[in-house]
Amino acid sequence: MHYTITFNPAVDLVMQVPVVNLGSLNRAMKDDYVAGGKGINMSTILNQMGVATTATGFVGGFSGSFIRQAMEAEGISEHFIEVDGITRVNVKIKSEEETEINAKGPEVSQEEFAALLEYLAEVLEEVDVVYLAGNAAPGLTHLHYRQVAELCLDKGIRFVLDSNKDLLTQSLPYKPFLIKPNRDELEEIVNTDLVSVEAIIDAAMSLQNRGARNVIVSLGGDGALLVTEDGQAFQSGIPEGEVINSVGAGDSMVAGFMAHFDKTGDYAESLQMGAACGSATAYSVGIAKRDLIDRLFQEIEVKNIK
Ligand SMILES: Nc1ncnc2c1ncn2[C@@H]1O[C@H](COP(=O)(O)OP(=O)(O)OP(=O)(O)O)[C@@H](O)[C@H]1O
Ligand SMILES: O=P(O)(O)OC[C@@]1(O)O[C@H](CO)[C@@H](O)[C@@H]1O
């Protein structure tokens, strides 16, 4: 089972607004509500790829119910802990540029966190994969990320971590199987501008020296780089297509990579699948569907560069 954890899920309100004028009333031409939050997006892709997944984390209020119903409609099993307060609604404005406003989200108490950890400790088995993705909810810190990471290390379970700053770096000693910073996140961690492929690979390897086993660095419309624990590096390109909404592309990439790696153990092909899922989501309103993923997979080139 692939368990995804989203500490602070969201309903993504995706609005098409041709021209945005700050300080004025703007009207959307179209709006879509999508169950979101990084772990939830990963479960959505895993499910598309035929991988058994359970989505967990904390939800509350009407928007929390929306997420639960969306999971049920997709046939994804879930074990969310109900919290007081209302799951956030994150606004994603699609104009000439993409603008995002992520809300704060409801507070998670120590008892609610303990209930999640207890559930995980009870259900996890060695063959499982745990994904912890996104930012913390109010009430949670890097220490809570570390507790999940430690549980996975103790149980010998592959742990996939997609977060940023100290939420990511503080868990590196627990040897996550995969981390996926994007270029900005990696630059922030290593405190340097990364302008060449070589510099990005060196920075990714510095995170391996701190404990990460495999590192994907996603580069938006410029593709992605993968540095593996056996010392190889791969680069993926992007297929032809029109960007509709790139929110969740990174989450899709992680889930696509893991779904394929779990079946094949093949790094190059798994990066190709991750890239297909990432671009397929960028070319969709919400998270990608399988038919587009399969089509784009054929078009993506992956090079072994080390
Ligand atoms: N504009 C785009 N065109 C084609 N493919 C894209 C585009 N943006 C993203 N992708 C694909 O998706 C992958 C992940 O995207 P990106 O680097 O934007 O992740 P991210 O910053 O983590 O995104 P998010 O936080 O929204 O999930 C890229 O490496 C690429 O393969
Ligand atoms: O605030 P966080 O947890 O960093 O990010 C949340 C979020 O922006 O990430 C997903 C895309 O990756 C969206 O579905 C969601 O709104």
Q: Are residues 163 and 276 in the same domain?
A: no
Q: What is the pLDDT of residue 306?
A: 87
Segments of the chain with pLDDT less than 70: none
Q: Are residues 97 and 14 in the same domain?
A: yes
Give CA–CA dist 216/235, Å, rounded: 10
Distance 279 CA to ligand 1 centre (A): 7
Closest ligand 1 atom number to CA of residue 180? 22
Distance 63 CA to ligand 1 centre (A): 26
Say yes or no: CB of residue 138 within 6 Å of ligand 1: no
Closest ligand 1 atom number to CA of residue 279? 5
Closest CA to 181 of 161, 153, 211: 161
Domain housing 74: 1-177
Q: Are residues 212 and 114 in the same domain?
A: no
Distance 41 CA to ligand 2 centre (A): 9
Say yes or no: CB of residue 247 within 6 Å of ligand 1: yes
Q: Are residues 217 and 239 in the same domain?
A: yes
Q: Whose CA is nearest to atom 7 of ligand 2?
A: 37
Residues 6+ apart with CB under 8 A from 97: none
Q: Helix or strand or coil: residue 52?
A: coil
Q: Helix or strand or coil: residue 298?
A: helix
ipTM value for the complex: 0.98
Q: Are residues 225 and 104 in the same domain?
A: no
Q: What is the pLDDT of residue 28?
A: 97
What is the enclosing helix (H) or strand (E) of 236?
strand 233-236
Closest ligand 2 atom number to CA of residue 88? 16
Proportion of the chain in helix, strand, coil states, percent, rounded to 5:
40, 25, 35
**Domain termination residue (choose one: 123, 142, 177):** 177
Q: Are residues 212 and 162 in the same domain?
A: no
Q: Helix or strand or coil: residue 135?
A: coil
What is the enclosing helix (H) or strand (E) of 132?
strand 129-133
**Domain termination residue (choose one: 177, 193, 224):** 177
Q: Are residues 22 and 165 in the same domain?
A: yes
Q: Residue 12: beta bridge partners?
A: 34, 90
Q: What is the pLDDT of residue 285?
A: 87
> Phi and psi at residue 273, in whole multiples of 5°?
-70, -40
Give CA–CA dist 190/165, Å, rounded: 10
Q: How many residues does the chain have?
A: 306
Q: Are residues 170 and 190 in the same domain?
A: no
Please report which ligand is nearest the Cα atom of 163.
2
Q: Whose CA is nearest to atom 5 of ligand 2?
A: 134
**Domain termination residue (choose one: 130, 159, 177):** 177
Measured from the Cβ of residue 234, the count of other Cβ atoms closer than 10 Å reads 22
Count the domains in the chain. Answer: 2
Give CA–CA dist 100/264, Å, rounded: 36
Distance 75 CA to ligand 1 centre (A): 26
Which CATH number do you get for residue 71?
A: 3.40.1190.20
Q: Hey, which residues are catalytic here?
A: 251
